[in-house]
């Protein structure tokens, strides 16, 4: 049987890299950047005034001048005006270009207006260059502003827009088919026999992938019928970049997924991992080199396997830089068999020192998905230990 770290490495080694596409900058939020963003101009592109007031020459003020002749008004978006002689000022607005001959801004709060002149009313010292954000002081033209492999969020999209990109290269979103298998599964609003259950994995898995912005998901619900399953999986495979199957991957008489994948010529990279929950996990590569994740149907197992393996795999295929490993301190001790790596749902928080904490929220069984609501994810507790005392530092995976 495969170890957790080995399973992860086998998956990452076999994942394809999704192609890059260009998308309008305004639609690029949440996507993975696939090009370096380069500064179009110096940033700021000119000596930018940062307060409403007057622009003067500091030398005038140092020479004792307090009364200035206003030679005009300059708003943001207007070309720079010019001070042509001593004692002059320009009425200036935030965002305007600093006028030629001026090097200092006096804010309106310090001014009094008289017809034809403006007076500085206090003797608070001024600094040459005050209230001016100098050209190129943030970045220079041609500087690399963003590197490929980051997620485009609110701050990054501003940088892309600032550099004049109308569209930007991002990782294409893979089309993923989420296939729920099981004769017992029924959708919402459909009539329900006492021996049937509502299907939940399609909803949770689609939600997880969509919230992570990692895939365009199509859901299908199939019966435990080997021939029908083979046909449907083959068709879904042809129309998608990756498959996620839930259920039918264990040892039961109606668990046809491994056989179906083999019949379709897929290479089973591994089947069963030394972990709990989620032991029956299977990873395969189709004849067309598409990844296939077959997750056990138990809702807790399915979501744990999705979060532990599928999400990192899709991040990798999108070219997303790896996040630093998140860790938290257990707020309670945990006792377990120690034979397998154990994934334990937790509620995350912080203690008074600012250390991240993980409060164990064990589920009743791996079918107890109701207890997962309100948890933040799970911790990974390595095999070989029967007891993890309170204070143990554990790796965290968020849903």
Q: What is the torsional sign of CA 398, 156, 135, 39?
A: positive
192-211: which residues touch ligand AMP (CB under 6 A)? 197, 199-202
The distance of closest approach from Cβ of residue 270 to ligand AMP in the complex, given in angstroms and rounded to an integer, is: 17
Nearest to Mg ion of 76, 197 (CB atom): 197
Any residues with CB less than 8 A from the CB of 328 and at least 6 apart, and which?
346, 348, 355, 356, 357, 358, 379, 393, 394, 396
252 in contact with ligand AMP (CB under 6 A): yes
What CA–CA distance (Å, rounded) separates 160 from 24? Answer: 11
Any residues with CB less than 8 A from the CB of 369 and at least 6 apart, and which?
200, 204, 299, 300, 303, 363
Which residue in the set 218, 250, 357, 371 belongs to the binding site for ligand AMP (CB under 6 A)?
250
Which residue in the set 44, 53, 99, 296 belongs to the binding site for ligand AMP (CB under 6 A)?
296
Nearest to ligand AMP of 118, 363 (CB atom): 363
258 in contact with ligand AMP (CB under 6 A): no
| Count of positions on this chain that bind Mg ion (CB under 5 A) | 4
What CA–CA distance (Å, rounded) separates 77 from 71? Answer: 18
Any residues with CB less than 8 A from the CB of 244 and at least 6 apart, and which?
176, 177, 178, 179, 205, 292, 293, 294, 295, 306, 310
The distance of closest approach from Cβ of residue 186 to ligand AMP in the complex, given in angstroms and rounded to an integer, is: 10
The binder of 201, among Mg ion, ligand AMP, none, by C-beta within 5 to 8 A per type, is: ligand AMP
Which residue in the set 99, 174, 278, 297 belongs to the binding site for ligand AMP (CB under 6 A)?
297
What CA–CA distance (Å, rounded) separates 159 from 151? Answer: 13
247 in contact with ligand AMP (CB under 6 A): yes
Torsion of CA 87, 91, 94, 99, to 10 degrees: -50
DSSP 195-244: T-EE--HHHHHHHHHHHTT--EEEEEEE-S-HHHHHHHHHHHHHH-SEEE
174 in contact with Mg ion (CB under 5 A): no
The binder of 363, among ligand AMP, Mg ion, none, by C-beta within 5 to 8 A per type, is: none
299 in contact with Mg ion (CB under 5 A): no
What CA–CA distance (Å, rounded) separates 346 from 359? Answer: 5
Site string for ligand AMP, 315-334 (x = CB under 6 A): --------------------
236-255: which residues touch Mg ion (CB under 5 A)? 247-248
280 in contact with Mg ion (CB under 5 A): no
Q: Helix count (H) and strand count (E) of the chain?
A: 8, 28
Any residues with CB less than 8 A from the CB of 354 and at least 6 apart, and which?
none
Nearest to Mg ion of 194, 374 (CB atom): 194
377 in contact with Mg ion (CB under 5 A): no
| Count of positions on this chain that bind ligand AMP (CB under 6 A) | 20
Structure tokens at 37: 């963003």
What CA–CA distance (Å, rounded) separates 356 from 324? Answer: 14
What CA–CA distance (Å, rounded) separates 258 from 279? Answer: 14
Which residue in the set 44, 53, 182, 277 belongs to the binding site for Mg ion (CB under 5 A)?
182
Structure tokens at 341: 């790596």
| Contact yes or no for 253/187 (Cβ under 8 A) | no
What is the three-class DSSP state of 91? strand
The stretch among 8-16, 225-233, 243-251, 306-314 that binds ligand AMP (CB under 6 A) is 243-251
20 in contact with ligand AMP (CB under 6 A): no
The distance of closest approach from Cβ of residue 255 to ligand AMP in the complex, given in angstroms and rounded to an integer, is: 6
| Contact yes or no for 397/325 (Cβ under 8 A) | no
The stretch among 92-100, 180-188, 269-277, 375-383 that binds ligand AMP (CB under 6 A) is 180-188
Nearest to ligand AMP of 46, 203 (CB atom): 203
The distance of closest approach from Cβ of residue 323 to ligand AMP in the complex, given in angstroms and rounded to an integer, is: 29
357-396: which residues touch ligand AMP (CB under 6 A)? 367
C-alpha pair distances (Å), 165 with each of 23, 36, 157, 161, 331: 10, 11, 10, 6, 48
The stretch among 280-288, 295-303, 324-332, 342-350 that binds Mg ion (CB under 5 A) is 295-303
Contact positions vs Mg ion (CB under 5 A)? 182, 247-248, 297
Summarize as ranges the residues that interact with ligand AMP (CB under 6 A): 180, 182, 184-185, 197, 199-202, 246-250, 252, 296-299, 367
């Amino acid at each position: 049987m495969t170890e957790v770290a080995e399973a992860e490495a086998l998956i990452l080694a076999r994942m394809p890299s999704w192609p890059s596409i260009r998308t309008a900058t305004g639609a690029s939020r949440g996507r993975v950047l696939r090009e370096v963003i380069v500064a179009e101009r110096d940033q700021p592109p000119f000596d930018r005034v940062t307060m409403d007031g007057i622009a003067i020459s500091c030398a005038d003020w140092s020479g004792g001048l307090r009364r200035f002749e206003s030679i005009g008004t300059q708003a943001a978006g207007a070309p720079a005006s010019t001070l042509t002689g001593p004692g002059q000022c320009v009425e200036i607005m935030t965002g305007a270009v600093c006028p030629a001959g001026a090097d200092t801004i006096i804010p309106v709060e310090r001014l009094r207006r008289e017809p034809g002149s403006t007076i500085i009313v206090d003797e608070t010292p001024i600094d040459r260059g005050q209230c001016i954000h100098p050209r190129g002081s943030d970045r220079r033209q041609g500087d690399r502003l963003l590197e490929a492999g980051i997620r485009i969020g609110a701050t990054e999209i501003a940088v892309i827009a600032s550099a004049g990109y109308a569209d930007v290269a991002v990782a294409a979103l893979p089309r993923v088919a989420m296939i729920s298998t099981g004769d017992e599964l029924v959708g919402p609003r459909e009539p329900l026999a006492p021996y049937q259950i509502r299907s939940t994995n399609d909803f949770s898995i689609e939600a997880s992938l969509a919230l992570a912005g990692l895939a365009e998901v199509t859901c299908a619900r199939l019966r435990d019928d080997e021939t029908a399953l083979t046909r449907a999986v083959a068709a879904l495979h042809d129309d998608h970049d990756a498959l996620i199957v839930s259920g039918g991957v264990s040892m039961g008489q109606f668990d046809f997924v491994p056989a179906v994948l083999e019949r379709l010529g897929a290479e089973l990279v591994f089947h069963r991992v030394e972990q709990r929950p989620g032991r029956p996990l299977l990873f395969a590569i189709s004849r067309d080199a598409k990844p296939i994740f077959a997750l056990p149907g138990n809702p807790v197992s399915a979501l744990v396997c999705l979060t532990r393996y599928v999400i990192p795999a899709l991040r990798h295929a999108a070219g997303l830089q790896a996040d630093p490993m998140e860790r938290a301190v257990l707020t309670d001790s945990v006792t377990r068999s120690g034979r397998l790596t154990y994934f334990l749902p937790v509620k995350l928080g912080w203690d008074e020192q600012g250390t991240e904490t993980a409060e164990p929220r064990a589920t009743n069984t791996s079918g107890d998905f109701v207890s997962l609501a309100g948890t933040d994810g799970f911790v990974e507790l390595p095999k070989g230990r029967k007891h993890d005392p309170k204070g143990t530092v554990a790796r965290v995976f968020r849903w």
